[in-house]
Structure 1
Amino acid sequence: MAYDGRVMRLALERFDEDRRARSEEQERRRERVFARQPRLREIEGELRSTMSRIIAQALRQGTDPVPAVERLRNENLRLQEEKRTLLRQMGLPEDYLEEQPVCPICNDTGYDAGGVCRCLRAYYAKEQQKELSRMLDLGNQSFDTFELEWYSDQVDPAKGISPQENMKWVYDVCAEYAHWFGRKPGNLLLFGAPGLGKTHLSAAIAREVSSRGYSVVYDTASHIFERFESQKFGREDEAQEDVERVLECDLLILDDLGTEMTTAFVQSALYQILNTRLMEKRSTILNTNLTPTELARRYTPQIASRIEGEYQLLPFVGQDIRKLKKSRKKP
């Protein structure tokens, strides 16, 4: 699993903010308890100073430290018992003054033996969804809100299938893709006229995949190629990070492919993206208003070969859903 450096920095900021807030609240809680029972503050101070005081005394006298350690142990046990007794008398748990970690796996460090702990991954998933929500309506564009009723159930004689049946198949492929992401690598080409649901199903996939902690980058083809150009000519310091995000994320969703000005540089950048991600077995979804034949004419044979050979082709058919919804007329 790859992590987007920019998103991880945001996640770590929120993680640290919450950890500091918990520590500050714990300190306020301790102060309220000390105000009610000052002896508890004294005990806390004595427990902190006991070891250094007794060991230092033993070393100064040049005596065996073992008896000093034993006295330390007994004194600590007595103080701890007094502390527990006072807390019980106040109707509080015995560990009320101790800060308990929210995550028992990593003790609120964010990392365990396997790397990033699941608690920090949860922060990462939240921050990533915020990033995606800037371009996608993740709140409304989900698998649950995709309505097949907007597609005609009339069979197309030329294809032997209705738009609704076709889109039911497309929906099922996308839902399975999202469900098995990370276990079944794969790539999708979503193509068809505007307003047929490509963005909706792309957002639904992004929403489910990112919620499980995978890194997802969703951006338009024109903006991505712009960032590659800035990186190539060293125009911006952040461009290198943007290029790395595109090449290294777990899932790249490249939207509006074919709307950019197709230059030699764009063809080179697109080939680099497709080829690099295929070689590293990173999944990619391409959204375009062009047919596979039109894509092959616009781009190089090498690009067309990569798409035709490595991507599952999903045709979106029917009437413009946005226009139908505007008139509120289902087929």
Structure 2
Amino acid sequence: MAYDGKILRRAYQKFEEDRQQRQERFQSRRESIFLRQPRLRQIEGELRTTMSRIIASALRRGTDPLPAVEVLKEENLGLQEEKRRLLAQMGLPEDALEEKPACPLCGDSGYRGGQVCRCLRKYYAREQQKELSRMLDLGGQSFETFSLSWYSDTYDPALGISPRKNMARILEICRSYAETFSQDSGSLLLTGDPGLGKTFLSAAIARVVSGDGWSVVYDTAGRIFQRFEAQKFGREEGDGASADVERVLGCDLLILDDLGTEMTTAFVQSALYQIVNTRLLEKRPTILSTNLKVEALHSRYSPQIASRIEGEYQILPFFGEDIRRLKRERG
């Protein structure tokens, strides 16, 4: 699983803020307990300092510290029993003065075995969805709100299927793709005229996949190619463009929208081939959305690009009437 460094830093910052708040609340609860029963503060202090004091004393004398440790154990058992009794008298559990991590797997460090722990992944998913929401309506565009009623159920003999039946099939493919997403999911090409739901279903997929903690990058083809150009020719200070290119190539799922609306130059051809080829080789799924017909890919882009897309991507053809226009007409 790949992580966007920029989003992960924001997620970890929020993770740390929440951890600090939990610690402050715990310390406040401890202090209120000590104010109710001052003897508990004394016991806590004795339990904390006695061990180091006795061992240090034994080592200074050059004697074996083990007998002192045995004495300490007896002393500590007595203190712990007194603490339990006092807490019980206050109606509190015996571990009321012990701070427990919110995540027992990583101890609230956010990492486990050198990997991002599931607790931090939840923060990452939330921050990533905030990022995606700047361009997509993740709140309104979901599989549950996708309506097939905008598509005609009249059989089209030229296509061999009705628009509604075709979209029902595409909806289920996209839903299954999102809910079972992995590095083995493969790539999709959403193709068809404007206003048929390509961006809507892209947003629905992004919502589910990012919510499961996978890294998702969504952007238009034009903006992505601009970032590649800025990185290639050093047209901005700092390494922002390089970081953006790395995100595009390295994210778990790339959704590249409006392919075909950009100016098609030799550089764009090269950048698109790099994106398609690199991500296929590294088994990183990609969703391309375009208003172009599949056959138009051959005339607009190089044979290598068109061949890779046709051969490796699952092609989902959208057809029907422009839903945005229908909504305007129906008020």
TM class by shorter chain equals: over 0.9
Q: Deviations over 1:268-288 (max 9, x none)?
A: 000000000011111000011
Question: Is 1:315 aligned to residue 313 of structure 2?
Answer: no
In structure 2, the CA distance between the partners of 1:19 and 1:48, relative to structure 1 (3 Å rule), is same
CA distance in 2, matches of 1:292, 1:64: 82
AA at the equivalent of 1:99: E
Matching of residue 296 in structure 1 with residue 302 in structure 2: no
CA contact (8 A) 2:183 2:283 kept: no
SS at match of 1:254: strand
Distance 2:213 2:47 in 1: 43
Are 2:272 and 1:270 aligned?
A: yes
- Alpha-carbon distance, 1:114 to partner: 6.6
Return the letter of the residue paired with 1:285. Answer: I
- Residue type matched to 2:137 in 1? D
Partner Cα separation in structure 2 for residue 319 and residue 219 of structure 1: 25
C-alpha contact 2:2 2:250 (8 A) present in aligned 1: yes
CA distance in 1, matches of 2:61, 2:172: 80
Per the alignment, residue 260 of structure 2 pairs with: 258
Counterpart position of 1:54: 54
The residue that corresponds to 1:21 in the other structure is: 21
Counterpart-to-counterpart distance in 1, 2:61 and 2:114: 48
In 1, Cα distance between equivalents of 2:93 and 2:10: 36
Q: 2:308 is matched with which residue?
A: 306
Shift of 1:327: 2.9
> Structure 1 184/63 Cα, relative in aligned 2: closer, same or farther at 3 Å?
closer
| Alpha-carbon offset, residue 113 of structure 1 | 2.7
- The one-letter amino acid of 2:325's match is K
Q: Is the 8 A contact 2:194 2:291 kept in 1?
A: yes
Q: Percent identity?
A: 70
Give SS of 2:295's match.
Answer: helix
Corresponding residue for 1:66?
66
Distance in 2 (CA, whole Å) between partners of 1:75 and 1:158 is 90
* 1:7-57 superposed Cα distances (whole Å, 9 cap, x missing partner): 111111111111111111100111111111111111111111101211122
Equivalent position of 2:165 in the other structure: 165
Match of 1:109 in 2: 109
Asked if 1 retains the 8 angstrom alpha-carbon contact of 2:183 and 2:285, the reply is no
For residues 183 and 58 of structure 1, the distance between their equivalents in structure 2, rounded to whole angstroms, comes to: 59
Structure 2: unaligned runs, 5 residues or longer: none
Counterpart among 231, 244, 247 of residue 245 in structure 1: 247
> d(CA) in 2 for partners of 1:183 and 1:223?
25
Matched with 2:282 is 280
Q: SS in structure 2 opposite 1:292?
A: coil
State the one-letter code of the partner of 1:214: W
| Partner deviation per Cα, 1:302-322 (whole Å, 9 max, x = no partner) | 111111111111111111111
Distance in 1 (alpha carbons) for counterparts of 2:6 and 2:114: 21
Residue 6 of structure 1 aligns with which residue? 6
SS at match of 1:132: helix
Deviations 1:127-179 (A, max 9, x none): 11111111111111111111001001112232222111111121122112212
